[in-house]
Structure 1
Amino acid sequence: MKVLAFGASNSKSSINKKLASYAAQQISDADISLIDLNDFEMPIFSEEREKESGIPALAHAFYNAIGEADVIVMSFAEHNGSYSSAYKNLFDWTSRIDMKVFQNKPVLMLSTSPGQSGAQSVLASAQASAPYFSATVIGALTLPSFFDNFDLEQGVVTNQQFNRDLLGILSNI
């Protein structure tokens, strides 16, 4: 099973990328492609730029990576209650290729933050909009207080309830 995993952040030390990677590793017999949004940096989307230069090749590469995957695991960083600008820009460009960005793929949506809310606001927003972009959300989980619930040395979630919930969701794919 081909799994595309990423943190919806451009932080080089993204805790959301760590969480997405961990979750993807819990899928049996997974061939995991862990991508970094820094590899998809492009001009800020505008209709004028699209008319002048077309859709950037990196947006096509991201869309194709989704198309090649059997399952998508993504973890959202929350910036001021919403998506990170890096993710939003990539998403905006990609949606110009096809509004069905997620191509009816099963998507596990996650979020985490250093705080107690665990980026719940952005996760709720992503879940609410998912059907409009052809994402089949198989589950959505937030990990609050990342540094209290994730062992950075081992690369594992230590919160047992989160792990039970995660495995419960993944058992259905």
Structure 2
Amino acid sequence: MKVLAFAASNSTKSINKQLASYAASLVPDAEVELLDINDYEMPIFSQDREEQLGQPEQAKQFYAKLGAADAIIISFAEHNGSYTAAYKNLFDWTSRIDMGVYQNKPMLLLATSPGPGGAASVLAAANGSAKFFAADVRASLSIPSFFDNFDMEKQALTDPALKQQLLEAVAKLT
């Protein structure tokens, strides 16, 4: 099974990237590709830019990566209760190639933040809109208070209940 995992964040120190990577490592016998959305940076989307530029190569490449995967894990960072600008822009460009951005792939949606909210607002938004973009969301999970529940050295969840929830969520991908 080929699993594509990434954080919907362009931070080089993204805790969501750590969470996505950790979750992907829990998929049995998976070939994991950890994507960095910084590799897909494009101008801010607008219809005017689309008319000028067409569909940027980075959006085509991102769409192809999603299509080549057997399953997708995304961990969403939350900026002011919503998607990061970097992810939203990548998503907007890619959706112009095909509204079925996620190509009916089995997906695990995650989110985390340093605070007790665990980026639950952006996760709710992602879950709510997923069906419009051909996402087969099998499970979703918010991890609150990341630094209290994740061992940075071991790169693993430390809270047994959260770890069990994540294991059950990951199992739904297969």
Measured after TM superposition, the shift of residue 167 of structure 1 is: 1.3
- Match in the other structure for 2:120: 120
CA distance in 1, matches of 2:151, 2:169: 22
Q: How does 1:23-34 map to 2 (within 5 A)?
A: 23-34=23-34
* Root-mean-square deviation over aligned CA pairs: 0.6
1:43-66 deviation digits (Å, cap 9, x = unpaired): 000001111110110000100000
Following TM superposition, by how much is the alpha carbon of 1:147 offset from its aligned partner in structure 2, in angstroms? Answer: 0.4
Aligned residue for 1:42, secondary structure, equals coil
Secondary structure of 2:137's counterpart equals: strand
TM-score by length of 1: 0.99
**Cα deviation digits, residues 113-135 of structure 1 (max 9, x gap):** 00000000000000000000000
Q: Which residue of 2 aligns with 1:96?
A: 96
Q: Cα offset for 1:171? A: 2.2
* Residue 86 (structure 2) aligns with: 86
Query: Hey, what's the Cα distance between the residues in 2 that align with 1:170 and 1:140?
Result: 9
Which residue in 2 is equivalent to 1:133? 133
Indicate the residue corresponding to 2:156 in structure 1.
Answer: 156
- The answer for the alignment partner of 1:60 in structure 2 is 60
Of 11-20 and 159-168, deviating more is: 159-168
Provide the secondary structure at the position in 2 that maps to 1:102: coil
**CA distance in 1: counterparts of 2:120 and 2:4, whole angstroms:** 22
Question: Which sections of structure 1, spanning at least 5 residues, go unmatched?
Answer: none
For 2:66 and 2:14, how far apart are their aligned partners in 1?
20
Unaligned runs of 5+ in 2: none
CA distance in 2, matches of 1:154, 1:9: 22
Partner Cα distance (1:62, 1:18) in 2 = 20
| 2:44 pairs with 1:44 | yes
Percent identity, please: 59
- In the other structure, the counterpart of 1:14 is 14
1:170 CA drift (Å): 2.3
Q: Deviations over 1:18-76 (max 9, x none)?
A: 00000000000110000111111110000011111101100001000000000000000
